[in-house]
């Protein structure tokens, strides 16, 4: 995805998911022809011993500790940038911040084309859990966010940045999903990939609960027709888009999140809008996009 000459900004630590995020960002930057900025943060030590009979000025120990922490963080970042830059086909630089990793990343968003983060940090929680930094960034970032997890070799023996499977995108007719569709189309075109557009619909329960199968069948048929209409109306926005990419349409009965998660198993990237048609304005991330973010088998892009 190209946004002028803005770099791809990546949040890093020494976790395997962060390394996967760097690998993905470098591969994407090579296609886009942009630079990559690796970011890291350090946390100030809030502990301070009181002055002892005036011999030790208050805050001296904390100041020294903080300088040591900052210096170590800067040294680690500098080393990492040098190692990545030595192998990367694009310019790579570093940026060190103080405090919350999510907060620092979000502060850099206005000057970036996208933010890329690993799914988890150092947590040893179950694989489906998404770390606090990636979740906060996905919930609040005004630009596209890509969340990458290290490939699970038991389920997926493909490299993280394979760029060979289709780009999967979920649509429901909402403005957010249309933005996701445009982003997915652009990504597919840049990477010469196919586009798989998914729309799901839930059958009504009233007919089965009342035992009225005829009413149920009519309602189901109506929802099926409405599903195709939503899908085709969404795709009509791409009719004037160039270049043309190979495209498949998938209308599926059942959970939208489940359909997208299943499709993500063969995807290069799964793209979702931040909020769907039924989302409340106060929600920063809808239920479908949140579920896909936590459970998808491919990198996930969140678009607003």
Task: Using the structure block, give the residue that is written with the tokens 């300088």.
Answer: 67
User: Nearest Cα to 38, choosing from 87, 68, 64?
Assistant: 87
Q: Which residues, 6 or more positions from 97, have their beta carbon under 8 angstroms from its beta carbon? A: 39, 40, 41, 42, 103, 104, 107
Q: Cα(267)–Cα(261) distance, rounded to whole angstroms?
A: 10
For the stretch 283-287, contacts whose Cβ atoms lie closer than 8 Å and that sit 24 or more positions apart, written own/partner, are 284/139, 284/140, 285/138, 285/139, 286/176, 287/257
CATH numbers and ranges of domains, the chain: 1-157 (3.40.50.620), 162-304 (3.40.50.12370)
Q: Cα(277)–Cα(291) distance, rounded to whole angstroms?
A: 16
Of 70-84, 195-209, 263-277, the poorest mean pLDDT is in 195-209
As a residue count, the chain comes to: 304
pTM: 0.83
Mean predicted confidence (pLDDT) in 176-186: 93
15-65 confidence digits (pLDDT tens): 999 999 999 999 999 999 999 999 999 998 654 444 444 554 555 557 788
Rg over CA atoms, the chain = 23
For residue 170, what are its two tokens?
């979920």
Higher pLDDT, 45 or 224: 224
Angle between helices 132-140 and 101-108 (to 10 degrees): 30
Residue 106 predicted with pLDDT over 80: yes
User: Nearest Cα to 144, choosing from 167, 127, 164?
Assistant: 167
Q: Cα(149)–Cα(8) distance, rounded to whole angstroms?
A: 17
- Residue 2 banded pLDDT, cuts 50, 70, 90: low
Higher pLDDT, 274 or 41: 41
Higher pLDDT, 259 or 47: 259
Q: For residue 44, what pLDDT is reported?
A: 82
Of 40-49, 55-64, 154-163, 233-242, the poorest mean pLDDT is in 154-163
Higher pLDDT, 172 or 130: 172
Residue 97 predicted with pLDDT over 80: yes
């Amino acid at each position: 995805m190209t946004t002028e000459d803005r770099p791809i900004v990546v949040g890093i630590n020494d976790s395997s998911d962060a390394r996967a995020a760097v690998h993905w960002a470098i591969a994407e930057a090579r296609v886009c022809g942009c630079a990559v900025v690796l970011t890291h943060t350090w946390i100030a030590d809030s502990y301070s011993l009181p002055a002892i009979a005036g011999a030790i000025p208050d805050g001296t120990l904390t100041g020294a500790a903080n300088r040591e922490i900052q210096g170590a963080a800067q040294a680690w970042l500098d080393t990492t940038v040098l190692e990545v830059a030595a192998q990367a086909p694009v310019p790579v630089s570093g940026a060190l911040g103080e405090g919350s990793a999510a907060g620092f990343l979000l502060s850099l968003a206005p000057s970036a084309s996208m933010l890329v983060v690993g799914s988890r940090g150092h947590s040893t929680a179950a694989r489906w859990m998404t770390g606090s930094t990636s979740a906060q960034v996905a919930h609040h970032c005004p630009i596209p966010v890509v969340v990458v997890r290290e490939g699970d070799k038991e389920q997926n023996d493909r490299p993280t940045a394979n760029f060979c499977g289709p780009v999967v995108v979920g649509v429901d007719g909402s403005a957010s999903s249309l933005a996701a569709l445009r982003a997915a189309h652009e990504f597919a075109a840049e990477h010469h990939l196919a586009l798989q557009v998914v729309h799901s619909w839930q059958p009504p329960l009233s007919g089965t609960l009342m035992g009225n199968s005829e009413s149920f069948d009519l309602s189901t048929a109506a929802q099926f027709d409405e599903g195709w209409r939503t899908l085709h109306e969404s795709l009509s926005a791409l009719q004037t888009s160039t270049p043309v990419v190979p495209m498949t349409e998938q209308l599926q009965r059942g959970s939208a999140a489940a359909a997208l998660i299943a499709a993500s198993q063969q995807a290069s990237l799964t793209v979702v809008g931040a909020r769907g048609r039924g989302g409340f304005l106060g929600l920063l991330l809808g239920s479908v996009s949140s579920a896909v973010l936590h459970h998808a088998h491919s990198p996930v892009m969140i678009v607003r």
